[in-house]
Amino acid sequence: MEEVGSSLGDVELSFPIFFSFEKFVERRIGMKRVLYLGICCLVVLGMVGTAAAIELRVMTVWGGQQKEYLDQMFAEYTSLNPEVKISHESVAGTGAAVYIEVLKTAAAAGTAPDVWFNWGGELSGFFADAGYCEPLDEYFEKYGWNKILIPWTIEAVRRNGKLYGVPICSHGMTFWYRKDLWDQLGLTEPKTYKELEELCAKTKAAGIYPLSVAGKYGWMVMRLLDYLLEYTAGPELHDKLNTAEESWDRPEVVEMYRLFKKWADEWIVPGFIQINPDDARMPMYQGQALMVFEGSWMETVFKHDGQDVNNFRFFLHPTEHEPLRISGFPEQFMVNAQSKYKKEALEFINWFIQKDVQQKWLGKAITSTCTIGVYPDKNELPNTYEFRKVLEQLQDVYPPTDQAFPPELMHKYFEIQDSVALGLLTPEDAAKRMQAAIEEYKEETGIKVFGSAPGMK
């Protein structure tokens, strides 16, 4: 059978003479149509696959350079898990009051993120009580988080016996001092409250104020009162005062206010009530004050302020109670109970708190951690390194009152605190007024016990 040759493009074709060229072209076009439709299907499937990629919304309070590092950290997670994109929503520079209100509004409207940052105590308690966040007890067991996180931080995010968050940052607060002034005065670390008072008296006699604090907004002065209450009441009663299970109109509270008045009159830099928190450390920098009552983050503040970090140290404030507790609190991630992506949210959090990830991003995307065995460079931040060791070894902490008490009560707490410092209220009257404010709040809300103190199991 004779064949006729033909060429279409660069492809040499041949077909039987009885097979019409028109039919060949028809078949050839049909094959191209099939190929075209196949390509279209692949493109559509690809588009569907892209559209199905999960967008995990994460809200935090961190802005500026830290947010930039966090975005890089989240991008790393996506590179390891291409099906999950982290959308970072930051409400930075607003403080707890505004952030919590933004979060409450979003939760009520059903538009809250999948994962959100929160503090502890009553600041986060609202979301647990309202059912907005997922209980996580079974996931602590599943992922083994109890084995890698500092134990007291886990207890501190427990509410009504359940875990509603995963601790991601831990902080402690105590006295920091200037080492050159300390050495000049020949001071040694106090082991009792009496020794602390003797240290203050010796410092004041040398013409240096023992302590600089800021009264504006109330919370910095509150730290001193929290410490004094831990000393006068002891851990068990302190926890019950924080949960309002015991009356504040009692001798231990009166003594706390009496001691505070002594500090205000004799040992704190004068005029502190109107001082802004950012200015509280200035008298210490200028050599006018020996100490500040600050957190485990303070060394990075000294460094940022251009100070020699080797000229500062901290000591754990003596309470004369066992176990020794300092003021401490964790920060946490909570998971939206209504999220469509709970599994992905939990996988993300599990990755976030792993030791190698935390170590890599410490000092950049994250400023603190709750993961055991993660430390900053000992040579660069020697005090922070030591403080992290302390935070791991503590058996328990007591919370700042503004995390233990409902926010609605804190304005009254700060008002009473200032009135004592200014001599407008006696310690006895202050204790009575604080209890009256608690009773009024209980009557208005029907809440009988505040559920935040770590001691409340």
Residue 261: CATH number of its domain: 3.40.190.10
Do 203 and 285 lie in one domain? The reply is: yes
Residue range(s) defining the domain that contains residue 85: 54-171+329-393
The pLDDT value recorded for residue 17 is 36
Q: What is the mean pLDDT of each run of 10 residues along the chain (457 residues)?
A: 38 38 45 45 41 85 94 98 96 80 95 96 91 97 98 94 96 98 98 98 98 96 98 98 97 98 98 95 98 97 96 98 96 98 98 98 96 97 97 96 93 97 98 98 92 48
Helices (DSSP H) in 186-306: which residue ranges? 193-205, 219-242, 251-262, 282-285, 298-304
Do 69 and 196 lie in one domain? The reply is: no
Residues 6+ apart with CB under 8 A from 179: 310, 311, 312, 313
Residue 116 forms part of a structural domain? yes
Q: Please count the structural domains in the chain.
A: 2
Segment (H or E) for 215: none
Angstrom distance (rounded) from CA 272 to CA 39: 73
Residue 41 forms part of a structural domain? no
Residue 362 forms part of a structural domain? yes
Do 382 and 287 lie in one domain? The reply is: no
Do 377 and 244 lie in one domain? The reply is: no
Phi, psi of 54 (to 5 degrees): -85, 130
End residue of a domain, out of 370, 393, 416: 393
Q: Which residue has the tokens 């505040």?
A: 450
Do 188 and 323 lie in one domain? The reply is: yes
Residue 33 forms part of a structural domain? no
Residue 34 forms part of a structural domain? no
Residue 7 forms part of a structural domain? no
Do 154 and 177 lie in one domain? The reply is: no
165, with CB counted inside 10 A (0-12, 13-18, 19+), is buried
Do 152 and 235 lie in one domain? The reply is: no
β-bridge mates for residue 117, sequence order: 333
With the CA atoms of 330, 158, 223 and 200 taken in that order, what torsion angle do they form, in degrees rounded to the nearest 10? -90
Angstrom distance (rounded) from CA 448 to CA 454: 17
Q: pLDDT tens digits, residue range 43-101?
A: 344 444 444 489 999 999 999 999 999 999 999 999 999 999 999 999 987 677 789 99
> Of 303, 278, 292, 308, whose CA–CA distance to 180 is shortest?
308
In one-letter notation, the amino acid at residue 239 is D
CB 159 within 8 A of CB 128: yes
Q: Strand 209-211 relative to strand 289-295: parallel, antiparallel, unpaired?
A: parallel
CB 126 within 8 A of CB 165: no
Residues 6+ apart with CB under 8 A from 298: 176, 292, 312, 314, 383
Helix (H/G/I), strand (E/B), else coil: 132: coil
Do 409 and 436 lie in one domain? The reply is: yes
CB 280 within 8 A of CB 302: no
Do 350 and 378 lie in one domain? The reply is: yes
CB 86 within 8 A of CB 77: yes
- In whole angstroms, how large is the CA radius of gyration of the chain? 31
Do 115 and 236 lie in one domain? The reply is: no
Do 177 and 193 lie in one domain? The reply is: yes
Residue 4 forms part of a structural domain? no
- DSSP for 347-362, written as a single string: HHHHHHTSHHHHHHHB
Angstrom distance (rounded) from CA 383 to CA 307: 14
Residue 3 forms part of a structural domain? no
The pLDDT value recorded for residue 453 is 46
Q: Which two tokens stand for residue 269?
A: 């830099």
Q: Which two tokens stand for residue 418?
A: 């200032």
The pLDDT value recorded for residue 290 is 98
Do 207 and 274 lie in one domain? The reply is: yes
Phi, psi of 425 (to 5 degrees): -135, 140
